[in-house]
Each structure stands twice: as structure tokens, then as C-alpha cells.
């Protein structure tokens, strides 16, 4: 379910996403992004907020240094990791938020490019890395893929976080992303793991929330399949772009 606005990988996906968008925000607030604890506010996704590209240059030296090293050795995992992380830090400065609600209202073209470059560097890091992936950067990549609306990418990164820091929250997030990616069976397995790690007093609430998300994901998946079937019968009907769950209606993403 990738929605990447960079030209070379632009594509639109026909999908019913309204209910899932609301659940995505609920999931981020309840479970917390990436690691164990709750985040309390969607604004924490950006580490205090984005906006204003004036500070983005502070990361350019790190990015240039990593790229220079990669020219010498494209398989340098330390350089790839540094590039993934600093492209993410730079991208955050191009994300706009409502100061009152914390809701993301826009992402600049430059920020979209930086997000895509961060995801590319991370993918190459995973390709060449021989040991256990860096869970800290994986948690940051969950946020990158979230802003790119790539639920499958977020799930893959969250899987690393959950395996290295198992908790009800890390596996609850994993279930969330898997459901959004359309992997209902995988989401069910992550839900089971999250429940096993949750205190007994919290299991009922956790089960209820994840069941609601699962139910909406199943409905959306069925509607998507129906829409794709109709599109095959009537190719001229066009497609509907996948909208970012972080964006207000009419916002840039």
C-alpha cells in the first residue's frame, strides 16, 4: 500500500481508506510509535513538530559524508544507516503540523524526497547487513514508512523492533501495521503475542481495540478487492489515490 509521491515511484492505489485512517491515528496514540511506551500525542511522531526547512541544513554534512563513503563502498552498512537516519531527520523539518491539534497538515516536496531516500537507504542497509538490524533506527523507519503510507514497510520495520524489544505495545503496533497492509493472519499472530505480553488487567482493552482495527481492515480489504474487480471490468473508470492517514482533508500528502 505504498503511496510515494516521488516521480520515479509514483503510483495510485484504489482502496477504501476512510475508517482505517482514523484507526491509524488511534493506534499511534494508544500503542506508541515504534518502541514500547505510548506517545500521548501524534505530534510526538515528529519529535516535537516539523515545519521550517531552515534547520534542515544541519543534517546535510552527515548526508554528504554518508554518500561519499557509499561511493567508495555501496555496501557500507554504517554509511547506509547514517544516511537513512539523517534523511529522516531532514525530512521532519518539512512536515507541517497544526500547533493546536498536532495533526499533520502538509509535507513539502523536499520532505517527500528525503523520506523516499531514507527508505531506500534503509532497504539497502537490510540487504547488506549481516547481523541483527539496528532496532533504534528501525523504530525511526516505522515513522518514515508511516508518512509514506507504506503499511507493509512499516510492518517490516516494526517486526525488527518487536523482536528485539518485545512488549504489548511493540507487538500491538506490529498487529496494527500488518492489518493495514492487508496481512490479516500476520496481524492475528502479532495480536496474540501482544496479548500474551500484556498485564492481565489490560488484555481486554487491548483485545477490543485490536479487534476493531482488524474488523475495519477486513472490510476495507473486501471493498478494495471489489473495487479492483470492477476496475478490471471497466478500465476507464480510473483509480482513487491512497490518502495519508496523517493528513487533514485537502492537505499536501
Nearest Cα to 155, choosing from 127, 136, 177, 176?
177
CATH number of the domain bearing residue 87: 1.25.40.10
CB atoms within 10 A of CB 142: 27
pLDDT tens for each residue of 89-125: 999 999 888 888 777 888 899 999 999 999 999 999 9
The whole-angstrom separation of Cα 106 and Cα 60 is 22
Residue ranges of alpha helices (H) inside 93-239 are: 109-128, 135-147, 151-164, 168-180, 184-197, 200-233
pLDDT at res. 1: 35
Name the pTM for this structure. 0.76
pLDDT of residue 238: 54
Contact (CB, 8 A) for 241 and 16 = no
244 inside domain: no
Cα dist from 159 to 56, 106, 107, 187, 205, whole Å: 29, 28, 26, 11, 22
Within-domain flag for 247: no
| Average pLDDT in the chain | 78
More confident of the two residues 252 and 213: 213
The band of 189, judged by pLDDT with boundaries at 50, 70 and 90, is very high
The number of domains in the chain is: 1
Provide the domain limits for residue 179: 7-237
Place of cell 541483527: 132
Tell whether 158 is covered by a domain. Answer: yes
Whether residue 181 lies inside any domain: the answer is yes
Stretch 24-48: mean pLDDT, rounded?
A: 43
Amino acid at each position: 500500500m505504498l503511496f510515494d509521491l516521488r516521480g520515479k515511484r509514483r503510483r495510485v492505489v484504489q482502496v477504501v481508506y476512510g475508517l482505517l485512517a482514523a484507526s491509524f491515528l488511534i493506534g499511534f496514540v494508544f500503542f506508541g510509535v515504534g518502541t514500547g511506551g505510548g506517545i500521548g500525542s501524534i505530534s510526538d511522531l515528529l519529535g516535537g513538530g516539523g515545519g521550517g526547512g531552515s534547520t534542515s541544513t544541519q543534517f546535510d554534512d552527515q548526508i554528504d559524508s554518508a554518500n561519499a563513503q557509499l561511493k567508495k563502498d555501496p555496501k557500507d552498512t554504517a554509511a547506509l544507516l547514517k544516511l537513512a537516519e539523517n534523511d529522516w531527520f531532514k525530512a521532519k523539518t518539512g512536515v507541517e503540523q497544526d500547533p493546536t491539534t498536532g495533526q499533520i497538515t502538509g509535507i513539502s516536496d523536499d520532505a517527500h524526497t528525503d523520506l523516499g531516500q531514507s527508505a531506500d537507504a534503509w532497504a539497502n542497509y537490510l540487504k547488506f547487513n549481516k547481523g541483527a538490524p539496528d532496532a533504534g533506527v528501525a523504530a525511526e523507519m516505522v515513522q518514515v514508512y508511516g508518512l509514506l503510507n507504506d503499511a507493509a514497510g512499516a510492518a517490516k520495520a516494526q517486526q525488527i523492533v518487536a523482536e528485539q524489544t518485545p512488549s504489548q505495545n511493540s507487538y500491538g503496533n506490529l498487529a496494527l501495521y500488518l492489518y493495514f497492509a492487508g496481512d490479516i493472519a500476520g496481524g492475528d499472530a502479532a495480536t496474540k503475542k501482544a496479548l500474551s505480553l500484556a498485564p492481565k488487567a489490560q488484555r481486554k482493552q487491548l483485545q477490543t481495540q485490536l479487534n476493531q482495527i482488524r474488523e475495519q481492515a477486513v472490510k476495507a480489504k473486501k471493498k478494495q478487492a471489489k473495487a479492483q474487480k470492477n476496475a478490471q471490468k471497466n478500465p476507464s473508470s480510473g483509480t482513487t489515490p491512497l490518502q495519508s492517514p496523517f493528513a487533514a482533508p485537502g492537505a499536501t500528502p
